[in-house]
Amino acid sequence: MMEFTAEMIAGFLSGEVVGDKQTKVHTVSSIEEGKAGSLAYLTNPKYEPFLYTTGASIVLVDKSFAPSQPVAATLIKVDDAAQCVLKLLEMYNAAKPRRKGISERAAVSERATLGEECYVGDFAVVEQGAEIGRGCQIYPQVYVGTGVRIGEGTILYPGVKIYEGCCVGRNCILHAGAVIGADGFGFMPNAAGGFDKIPQLGNVVIEDDVEIGANTCIDRAKTDSTVICRGVKLDNLIQIGHNVRIGENTVSSAQTGIAGTSKVGSNCFLAGQVGIADHVTIGDRVKVGSKSGIDKNVPDDEIRFGYPALPGMQYHRSAAVFKTLPDLVRQVRELQKEIEKLKNDR
C-alpha cells in the first residue's frame, strides 16, 4: 500500500502544511466520507461544514480559505485546490505498479508483434498480424483480431473485443466489454419480405488519447472507416453506427446513440441518452442536452434540447409553456363558453 506524508504532498503541490507534517495518507476520499488515512479536499464552499466533522487525515484547501472552527485534520493550503486534486490523482495513478509479462494462459499468435514491456493477461487472444505497441496493457479475456494495430501505452481492460483490421491509437483506454469493429447495422429488404445482409467491409480507426467506456460499441464501416478522432471521451453503453465520424475532443455521456454516416464535430458535448439520426452533420462546439433527439443538421456553436431538438432558448421558453398547458386549456374552454354565450345573447 502506497503512503504519502503531508510534507511530501505539500512539496509536490508547492503548498503549505497547517498541522502535522508527518501525517500519512494512502487513499483519496470525498470530504463527507473521509476516514483516517485518507486525503480529502474542499473545492466547493457549500461543503465547508464537513471540514469540521470529517474523519480524513489531510484536507486540501485553497490558500485563501480561513476555517471558522477548529479543524482536526491536517490542512494543506494550495493556490488552486481543484487543480491540485487532479494532479494528485494523476500522481497516485502513475505510482501504481504496471503489470508486465505474457501469461502462459494467453493465446498470442507467433505472427503477432508485441512491443517491449507489454502485459497480456490470462485467456487473452492476439491473432496473427496484430501489432501491439510498447507498454500496452491487455487484460484477461481481451480479443485482438487479425491485423489489428494498437499504439503504445494503450490499455484494454477485461473483455474488450477488437475485430479484425481495426486500429487503436496511442495512450487510449478501452474499458471492460467495449466492442470495436462489429458489423454495422446494414440490411436490404428482399422480394421475399425478409432482409439481405449488406457486407460491412470497412474498419474502425480510433486515434490517440481516446477513452471508451464499458460496454460501448463502435461499428465498422460499410466501406472506408468509422473514425473516432484524437481526445474523444465516450462514456459507458454508447452505440456508434457505421461510417460515423466524431471530431477531436468531443465528449459524450452514457447511452448516447449515433446512427450510421452521421458526423459530429470537434469539442462537442452530448449529454446522456442523446439520439442522433443517420446522415446528420453536427458542427463544432455544439452542446446537446439529455434525452434530446437530433434529426437535422446543427451549425457550429449551437445548443439543442428536447425531441425533436430545438435551439436552447426556444426549448426553455417552450418548456415554461408546457407546465401551464392544463391551465391554458381550461382558460380556452372557458373563453369558448363565454363566446358562445355572447353569440346566443344577441
Instruction: Identify the pLDDT of residue 1.
Output: 57
Q: Residue 326's pLDDT band (boundaries 50, 70, 90)?
A: confident
pLDDT per position as a tens digit, 152-163: 999 999 999 999
How many whole angstroms separate alpha carbon 40 and alpha carbon 85?
9
Asked if the bond preceding 45 is cis, omega within 30° of 0, the reply is: no
Residue 316 annotated to the active site: no
Active-site position among 26, 242, 279, 316: 242
| Percentage of the chain exceeding pLDDT 70 | 99
pLDDT at 222 over 60: yes
pLDDT per position as a tens digit, 50-90: 999 999 999 999 999 999 999 999 999 999 999 998 888 88
